[in-house]
Structure 1
Amino acid sequence: MFPAEQTLQLRALDPEDNRIETSAGIFVVEGSAFDEGLEAVAIDSWGTSSCALDAYSAGDVADLGDGETFTLNADGTYIWQGDDDQISGRAQRFFFTATIPPDFTLSNYDQVLLDEKNSEGMAKAFFNTLTVVIPATIILILIAAFAAYALAWMKFPGRALLVATVVGLLVVPLQLALIPLLTFHVGAMELLTSVMGTVDEDSKLTSVNWFGNWFGMSEGEKIAGKGYFGAWLAHTGFGLPLAIYLLRHYMVGLPRDIIENASVDGATEFQIFTKIILPLSFPALASFAIFQFLWTWNDLLVALVFLIDSSGNTTVMTKQIVELLGTRGGDWEILATSAFVSIAVPLLVFFMMQKYLVRGLLAGSVK
């Protein structure tokens, strides 16, 4: 546990009720920064502007111009001094940075989990994240497993070229493809909407044909460009090259005799894949599923581009944690607490599938 620095904003006492005339038209307002129920702490630095929070040290006199001064001491007491016009109207604003001694408390968890203002948002973000992570992981593993088996054991023209393409896609940065992929996705959704009926200027259906009725669409609906479907496809597409590469490498190392014997006995490729390859490849599948789950759970960039909209109904955990920081971003203790809460599910998944992770990582390392 370490001391924490916290920046607070306060105003001096109302000059109309608290100023005292000293001599020759000089008025003074005296008070304490801790009169408003704040816990008394040592003040390190302070300022009178949000652009310079640490312009002065404790005890320094700030010249506000035309003889008006403000002094803030280390114990929180302050003196605001000036003439009749200066010590009137709205009270002087000041900021100070205080060192708070370490204290063991669960108040941050109470604020994150039980505070009505935050708990509803965290709960919604939690289920939104699960809605993204689980399908994105399952879809990726299914497609990658089929593709890896085809590239490992099925002979067809162009297989070597496909393997080389998969390896080449490993070096494509995710950030490079985000905007083009989003543009393509939005265009595809608009095209799909137009196929379902007549579309107005806002891309909303004014009439629905049989195709739209088959999909359960109704007049006035619009297939949004952003949504869970786009996030699933994005995570699947960005994870496929590595998944196919690793799973193919694992499947190539499986005993050839088992597969050839099954083929001689009349098993089809699909039967070989489902009854032999998948059970033997479960450690590798589980290992990559864990990694994909963790990557998707901790993702913010793809969610911002493909999922989160202005309504806030699709906010994920990583975005909600950022919102808890506040406008100034100084509540780092809330960030640490929220991050600890957010890793609960990944830790649970890891410990449940730990043995498969180790087996999958060590597969092929020993001859």
Structure 2
Amino acid sequence: MNNIAGTKSSLTWAVHISVAVLVIAWLLPTVGLFVSSFRTADQIATSGWWKALFSQEQTLSLRAAPAEEQVQVGNLYVIEGQIFESEARPEIQTWGISSRAVDAFIPGDSAELRGGGIFTLDVDGTYRIENTEPFDVSRGQRVFITAEVPPEFTLNNYYTVVFDPNNIEGMSKAFINTLTVTIPATIIPILIAAFAAYALAWMEFPGRALLIAAVVGLLVVPLQLALIPLLKFHNDIGIGKGYIGVWLAHTGFGMPMAIYLLRNYMVGLPRDIIENARVDGATEFQIFIKIILPLSFPALASFAIFQFLWTWNDLLVSLVFLIDSTGETTVMTKQIVEILGTRGGNWEILATAAFVSIIVPLIVFFAMQKYLVRGMLAGSVK
């Protein structure tokens, strides 16, 4: 009875579980990246993003005030202050004056300093250093504190990445450059492939079958195989170091997939509509503009999603065809690689930069994903 049309399969639950697992596996890295982009460096270093909403035990390295702030009180030289620079003052659990023994003392204890003097630290971060001789160390005493730190989120990461022009992490220019590469590299192949797909689907001419076979064959040509010859050709004609070269490269690499996808969709359109338009005197161009393009919007949107995502996330083609030592044409993927190479320890900056780079693809995908399945199934059902 399970094979009768209209009845539910006994394996429906397995399908639902599989879909749920795939969705969770896809969402978890994105959610983790989003949460990490708002966390501080200390919290990222001490706990995973899934613990971002809970207080965490952290060991902080802080410094007391320098020797210039000492005052003489009777026969003693005293330095007093608050060990925490910010208003957020967690409750201190243990502390120490050596990295080898960060939990040697508890709040209220006093420690003898190597250079002479007594260091006393209270639970709220108030400290007192006193000595019978003047302090001659210019830098303040380093103190290691273990405390229960509450959750902390900040927008400084985004300011540093996007808006701060004095830092290498500034990606505002790279963001504009990526849009400059991606938008034309998505529109140009769609325009050309739509005309070609209509001709291969509805126009009779010698060699059409060979052209269709050639398009299918080009789908399996590796991108890396054509990079060097294409770059040499671009350099010979003078477009190898600018936007025109990278636009044409993305257009050429995306054209076979675009023609194949759109042609399969257009073949499945009702023939009667096109024949009636021809009987009414419509030209091929009028049929293409007024009938074929509106009906083919799901396939156009489907390819636009793939081409946009591939071009936006591309690094190889940009590195080859956007040769610029000044950084004027640096795209976001290359900028993130530079951040990783120069500031590899600043995970909060890397997480923010990576999330900024995927915001636009996420918006495009969710805005147009309803057309994705319809476009991918083009030509599969008659």
Same fold (TM over 0.5): yes
CA contact 1:4–1:101 (8 Å) conserved in 2: no
CA contact 2:298–2:374 (8 Å) conserved in 1: yes
* Distance in 1 of aligned mates of 2:369 and 2:350: 28
Residue in structure 1 matched with residue 287 of structure 2 by the alignment: 272
* Distance in 2 of aligned mates of 1:114 and 1:150: 48
- Point out where structure 1 has 5 or more consecutive residues left out of the alignment: 11-34, 40-70, 81-99, 190-223
1:346 pairs with 361, 365, 375, which one?
361
* Distance in 1 of aligned mates of 2:150 and 2:331: 31
Larger RCO, structure (CA 8 Å, separation 6 or more) = 2
3-state secondary structure, aligned to 2:173: helix
CA shift, 1:271, in A, is: 1.4
- 1:355 lines up with 2:382 in the alignment: no
Residue in structure 2 matched with residue 216 of structure 1 by the alignment: none
Residue in structure 2 matched with residue 128 of structure 1 by the alignment: 177
Name the count of aligned residue pairs.
269
What RMSD, in angstroms, separates the aligned Cα atoms of the two structures?
3.9
Residue in structure 1 matched with residue 219 of structure 2 by the alignment: 170
* Distance in 1 of aligned mates of 2:152 and 2:261: 45
CA shift, 1:359, in A, is: 3.3
CA shift, 1:114, in A, is: 3.5
CA shift, 1:4, in A, is: 4.2
Change (3 A) 1:352 1:280: same
1:302 pairs with 317, 320, 340, which one?
317
Alpha-carbon deviations, 1:74-102, whole Å to 9, x = none?
A: 5299x99xxxxxxxxxxxxxxxxxxx989
3-state secondary structure, aligned to 1:240: helix
Q: Which amino acid aligns with 1:259?
A: I
1:73 pairs with 88, 92, 100, which one?
100
3-state secondary structure, aligned to 1:134: helix
CA shift, 1:324, in A, is: 2.4
Moved over 6 A (4+): none
CA contact 2:168–2:339 (8 Å) conserved in 1: no
Which piece of structure 1 moves more, 251-260 or 355-364? 355-364
CA shift, 1:358, in A, is: 4.1
Residue in structure 2 matched with residue 117 of structure 1 by the alignment: 166
CA shift, 1:352, in A, is: 3.0
Residue in structure 2 matched with residue 252 of structure 1 by the alignment: 267
* Distance in 2 of aligned mates of 1:165 and 1:102: 62
Residue in structure 2 matched with residue 142 of structure 1 by the alignment: 191
3-state secondary structure, aligned to 2:342: coil
Change (3 A) 1:114 1:354: same
- 1:154 lines up with 2:169 in the alignment: no
* Distance in 1 of aligned mates of 2:193 and 2:205: 18
- Point out where structure 2 has 5 or more consecutive residues left out of the alignment: 1-34, 37-42, 47-60, 62-82, 90-97, 105-112, 115-147
For 1:66-105, what aligned pairs fall within 5 Å after superposition?
Answer: 73-75=100-102, 103-105=151-153
* Distance in 1 of aligned mates of 2:206 and 2:344: 56
3-state secondary structure, aligned to 1:116: coil
- 1:316 lines up with 2:331 in the alignment: yes
* Distance in 2 of aligned mates of 1:170 and 1:101: 54
CA shift, 1:279, in A, is: 0.9
TM-score by length of 2: 0.61
3-state secondary structure, aligned to 2:302: helix
* Distance in 2 of aligned mates of 1:231 and 1:256: 38
Q: Which amino acid aligns with 1:104?
A: E
CA shift, 1:334, in A, is: 1.8
* Distance in 1 of aligned mates of 2:172 and 2:249: 24
3-state secondary structure, aligned to 2:329: coil
* Distance in 2 of aligned mates of 1:261 and 1:272: 10
Residue in structure 1 matched with residue 93 of structure 2 by the alignment: none
Q: Which amino acid aligns with 2:100?
A: N
TM-score by length of 1: 0.63
CA contact 1:4–1:102 (8 Å) conserved in 2: no
For 1:42-61, what aligned pairs fall within 5 Å after superposition?
Answer: none
CA contact 1:152–1:251 (8 Å) conserved in 2: yes
3-state secondary structure, aligned to 2:171: helix
CA shift, 1:163, in A, is: 0.8
Change (3 A) 1:102 1:268: farther
1:235 pairs with 236, 239, 250, which one?
250
* Distance in 1 of aligned mates of 2:364 and 2:295: 21
